[in-house]
Structure 1
Amino acid sequence: MGPVRGFRRRKRAAKDAAAAGQEGGDWWVDFSRRITGHLSLPEEPRKFESVFKISRTTFNYICALVRDDMMSKTSHLAFADGKILSVEDQVAVALRRLSSGESLLNIGVSFGVNQSTVSQVTWRFVEAMEERGIHHLKWPTTQEMEDIKCKFEKIRGFPNCCGVIGTTHIMMCLSSADTSNVIWVDHEKKHSMLLQAIVDHQMRFRDVATGWPGSMNELSVLRSSGFFKMCEKGTRLDGEEMELPEGFQVREYIIGDSGFPLLPWLLTPYQGKDLSDAKTEFNKRLSATVAVAQSALAKLKDMWKIIGGEMWRPDKHRLPRIILVCCLLHNIVIDLEDEVRDDALSSHEHDTSYKQQLCNIADNNGVMLRDKLSAYLSGRLPP
């Protein structure tokens, strides 16, 4: 895939930030001394990466992104010894909180600050990232989309495919005694918030929607999303059609699992038993392609463990913003080609305790598109 718009500029900014950090002395030397003995750290040179799960270059780039916003607020946030927290210190605290999922108390003890400081710093970071990092999560430009469609066709043969959609549950520990929390109870009788994401072939998030309670299913979340409304209006997935053999025209579309409806712009698997060879082959190819979204969600929750575990009574108004920032950080790691991300487990599991839900809604135009593509992929259409 070609570079995301502004990618080279961001790469230069990352290098400039790294150089600036080196010129001003190595912040990490002083900071690591503060946490030595509190955290179990391996030997250099992986020490920094083991704490923050990203490279120094990516860390410096993130600091450069949020520096102005975080410094614009006068603050007396300090370590226990009275030293004022620099921007790097604040970003380090926030990233550790988001990546480890540890409690405010544990983070505070590890880094030598009180838990209220951890809370304030993390939220200031989230606000700054929402403002300064949002350009890392955009729907592809026309040229980018051509590259994405080409790559998806190479994965399992789907022509004119623009992405994969998936949904995951962000677990929450809420009081069952509070009757207002019943809306957050999902089909597995757990409290959760839903995240819907559309990803490209590189597992980059291209559209995310979150904040809906676990009591909703994938269909309800999809219909409530801005993406659905744009697709229905014809203002998204509205690129040029591709012509297959026999003159069949294939519009732009995305792919999802059987929890989603079959629509003219959203293809899902065939359901039922005793499927024909062509339908079985279609399902295999689709499942392999959907795995891209499953892997992206698994990596998101594995790397940013604050949303990967069960959050203790979170602020449900702030949680969607935290989820968004984790998605932005996920994309930044990809955009900057951070090699540390390659160490992450290549698992597809992100909702391990959840059973696959089924949606039986099928639009006639979607049925026709799926049948034609099934025939095409099985080689029944002439070359």
Structure 2
Amino acid sequence: MNLSKRSFTLLPRLLTPSLSSLSPLPPNFALAATFFRLAHSASFSAVSRRFNIDSPAACVAFYTVCKAINENLGHLFEFKSDINRIIVGFGWISLPNCCGVLGLEKFKLDGDLLGENGSLVVQALVDSEGRFLDVSAGWPSTLKPEKVLRQSKLLSGVEETKEYLNGPCFELSDGNSIPQYILGDSCFSLLPWLLTPYKKSDENAELNSSEMAFNSVHSSGMELVRMAFGRVRKRWKLVAKKWSEQCVEAFPFVIVTCCLLHNFFIKCSEAVQDEDAECSRDQEFPVFDGEVDESGKRIRDALASHLSRANERR
């Protein structure tokens, strides 16, 4: 794993107060052992041999560092704290007032706990630079995407506490205005704040120019989620492998750690690793087939018309 000396020396300083319980093991030593396990999917016995510590100590160090990262770097999920930067970023890719792209990712589970092809599901919101803004991890693949969303803190923050997406509307050139919104994968329901792609009413139907313009931009947005997860998988091999069903409870903790480190490296201007063929995977989720929210439909139609007009001017 390539990591600059500047970033590696900064991280222990940010985490040291939370790593004092590992004494006499130095914080940078514990961090190096944790990175080795994450990057190489190394067993605790392999970490033990590499760093000349016993396996129980390697295990304690790993989970202590992961806990410290969760506690001390949680502010790097910047959905609430840096919304203006997020909106400006999406504006550069023709999405006015967009506050993120929401998608799901499957991580395979070994064993029959969730059936033959069982997986753990992670819901993530990313920005235009591929940073994670919100992560909800460890859902069973037997749960429908709509239920994952309904049980997540993201939906609660938007619809109940109103702490998210409460900024001003954006006025479009035709006089219509759109509120702050998120692009959502087709497995989610269309909502006033969650805009999903258009789908054909039947096999013979065709989308009009506005609908195609929206779907094209939407598809580019969803690619940001795929790329972010691809980079996490490539850098941190531990989460790319099949997880043992005995480790299910630890998975959400570890994947959030990896997503926070991903953001930390972007913040430090570390080189980004693009995913390759080894990370290709089947990530199909069923298209939502429930009722369409009329308010969401109007907002999506207004944005689609705006994008179509923008295409005509080019």
**TM-score by structure 2 length?**
0.89
Q: 1:275: how far off?
A: 1.3
Q: CA deviation at 1:284?
A: 0.9
Q: Which residue of 1 aligns with 2:32?
A: 92
CA shift in 2, pair 1:109/1:291, >3 Å = same
Question: The residue matched to 1:294 in structure 2 has which SS?
Answer: helix
Within 5 Å, give how 1:98-117 maps onto structure 2: 98-117=38-57
Using the size of structure 1 for normalisation, the TM-score is 0.74
Q: 1:355-374 maps to which residues of 2 (within 5 A)?
A: 355-361=284-290, 362-374=292-304
Match of 1:198 among 122, 125, 148: 125
Q: Cα distance, 1:140 vs. partner?
A: 3.6
Query: Conserved in 2, the CA contact under 8 Å of 1:161 and 1:252?
Result: yes
Corresponding residue of 1:345: 274
1:9 is aligned to none
Corresponding residue SS for 2:247: coil
Superposed counterparts of 1:225-304, under 5 Å: 225-233=152-160, 234-272=162-200, 273-304=205-236
Matches within 5 A, 1:1-383: 52-74=1-23, 85-141=25-81, 144-155=82-93, 157-174=94-111, 176=112, 181=113, 184-185=114-115, 189-233=116-160, 234-272=162-200, 273-338=205-270, 341-342=271-272, 344-346=273-275, 352-361=281-290, 362-379=292-309
Query: Which protein, 1 or 2, shows the higher relative CO under an 8 Å CA cutoff with sep ≥ 6?
Result: 2
Shift of the 323–382 alpha-carbon distance from structure 1 to 2, 3 Å rule, reads closer
Q: CA RMSD in A?
A: 2.3
* Alpha-carbon distance, 1:347 to partner: 5.4
CA deviation map 1:223-266 (0-9, x unaligned): 11111122123331110001113321100000022111111001
Distance in structure 2 (CA, Å) of the matches to 1:159 and 1:360 = 27
The separation in 1 between residues aligned to 2:174 and 2:182, in whole angstroms, is 23
- 1:153 deviates by 2.1
Partner-residue secondary structure (3-state), 2:109 = strand
> Is contact 2:188-2:287 (8 Å) kept?
yes
Question: What is the number of residues matched between the two proteins?
Answer: 307
Q: Is the 8 A contact 2:22 2:61 kept in 1?
A: no
What amino acid is aligned across from residue 166 of structure 1 in structure 2?
G
> Which shifted more, 54-63 or 107-116?
107-116
CA distance in 2, matches of 1:270, 1:348: 29
Q: CA deviation at 1:118?
A: 2.1
Match of residue 4 from structure 1? none
Alpha carbons 1:53, 1:303 under 8 Å: kept: no
> Secondary structure of the residue that 1:72 maps to in structure 2?
helix
% of aligned pairs identical? 27
Tell me, yes or no, if the aligned pair for 1:165 and 1:290 is still in contact at 8 Å. Answer: yes
Given the superposition, is the C-alpha separation of residues 310 and 261 from structure 1 closer, same or farther in structure 2, using an over 3 Å criterion?
same
Q: Which residue identity lines up with residue 281 of structure 2 in the other structure?
A: T
1:201 to partner: Cα distance: 1.1
The 1-side partners of 2:231 and 2:105 are apart by 12
Contact kept in structure 1, 2:97 and 2:170, CA below 8 Å: yes
Larger Cα-atom Rg: 1
Instruction: Give, in whole Å, the separation in 1 of the partners of 2:310 and 2:18.
Output: 58
Closer, same or farther in 2 for the Cα pair 1:117/1:70, shift >3 Å?
same
Q: Which runs of 5+ in 1 are unaligned?
A: 1-51, 76-84
- Taking the aligned partners of 2:235 and 2:187, their CA distance within structure 1 comes to 25
In 1, Cα distance between equivalents of 2:254 and 2:294: 39
Secondary structure of the equivalent of 1:298? helix
* Compared CA separation, residues 89 and 136, structure 1 to 2 (3 A): same
Aligned residue for 1:109, secondary structure, equals helix
1:162/1:243 Cα in 2 relative to 1: closer, same or farther (>3 Å)? same
Cα 1:320–1:240 change in 2 (3 A) is same
**Would the aligned equivalents of 1:294 and 1:349 in 2 still touch at CA under 8 Å?**
no
Pair 276,114 (structure 1): closer, same or farther in 2 beyond 3 Å: same
For 1:146 and 1:349, locate their aligned partners in 2 and report how far apart those are by CA, in whole Å. Answer: 35
Structure 2, unpaired ranges of 5+: none
Q: Distance in 1 between matches of 2:178 and 2:83?
A: 15
